[in-house]
Amino acid sequence: MGRRKDQSAARAAIIEATLTAMRRRGVNGLRVRDVAELAGVSTATVHYYFDDLETLLREVHRQGSDRFFTDRMAMVAAIPDARAKLRAMIAAGIPSSVDDPLVIALYQLNAHLGFHDEHSLLLTALYEKQVALYLAVLEVGVAQGHFTLTEPALDIASNLVALEDAYGLHIVTPNRAVPPARAAELICSYARTATHCPEITAPCQEGR
């Protein structure tokens, strides 16, 4: 009651429902009706909160990106040792399974929104923020004396994000060639080589 239109519970439910709906039907197959049903409202209500589908998708992407980035930043900031930071970053960058709705949605939205020039800036921004995060970790590692880099730190950070993206796509697309644990190990393999720090290893991921 006290809330505004952009803070209502229904609005949040719709955004959440969109994530779920996208896991089931993809961005392309996404129907307002699906979102509405999952959110327990009518399609007209969806349009009451979001002028059109595109607006809804942008909002979902914005919130998702923020959540994704902020979570990682908080997590990495809480760890002092650069080696542990890097391990944690890698582990957190891999979608835990084919059913992770947030990550699925982000990949789908990247592909979808990326097709229009107008949104490229947003995507670029997210990518660069991720790179910056890795870059910071690498520099801390060098400062702590754990990492020795033979290539520019920026290049390494960029590659780490790229590997995350690629393997994330493999996992989210049900391409069983690269399961999550293997993806983590592969990225760690690169991180070890690039930092000359043999302690960058993937955590044992039993029980997944």
Q: Which residues bind DNA (CB under 7 A)?
A: 1, 3-5, 8-10, 29-33, 41-49, 51-54
CB of 8 to DNA, least distance (A): 5
The answer to whether the beta carbons of residues 27 and 57 sit under 8 Å apart is yes
Q: Which is nearer to a copy of itself, 79 or 129 (CB)?
A: 129
Structure tokens at 40: 């327990």
The single residue among 115, 145, 204, 208 that binds a copy of itself, judged by CB under 8 A, is 115
Task: Indicate whether 27 belongs to the interface with a copy of itself (CB under 8 A).
Answer: yes
- What does 169 bind: a copy of itself, DNA, none (CB cut-off 5 to 8 Å by kind)? a copy of itself
CB of 48 to DNA, least distance (A): 4
CA 187 vs. chain centroid, Å, equals: 16
The single residue among 38, 192, 201, 205 that binds a copy of itself, judged by CB under 8 A, is 192
CB of 123 to DNA, least distance (A): 21
> What is the residue whose two structure tokens read 């809480």?
78
> What's the rounded Cα separation, in Å, for the pair 169 and 120?
19
The answer to whether the beta carbons of residues 127 and 41 sit under 8 Å apart is no
CB of 115 to DNA, least distance (A): 15
The single residue among 61, 93, 110, 180 that binds a copy of itself, judged by CB under 8 A, is 110
CB of 73 to a copy of itself, least distance (A): 19
Number of neighbouring beta carbons within 10 Å of residue 152: 11
> What's the rounded Cα separation, in Å, for the pair 19 and 114?
18
Structure tokens at 113: 């929104």
Task: Indicate whether 5 belongs to the interface with a copy of itself (CB under 8 A).
Answer: no
- What does 144 bind: DNA, a copy of itself, none (CB cut-off 5 to 8 Å by kind)? none
> What's the rounded Cα separation, in Å, for the pair 148 and 138?
9
> Is residue 114 classed as helix, strand or coil in its secondary structure?
coil
- What does 78 bind: a copy of itself, DNA, none (CB cut-off 5 to 8 Å by kind)? none
Structure tokens at 33: 């009706």
The answer to whether the beta carbons of residues 69 and 143 sit under 8 Å apart is no
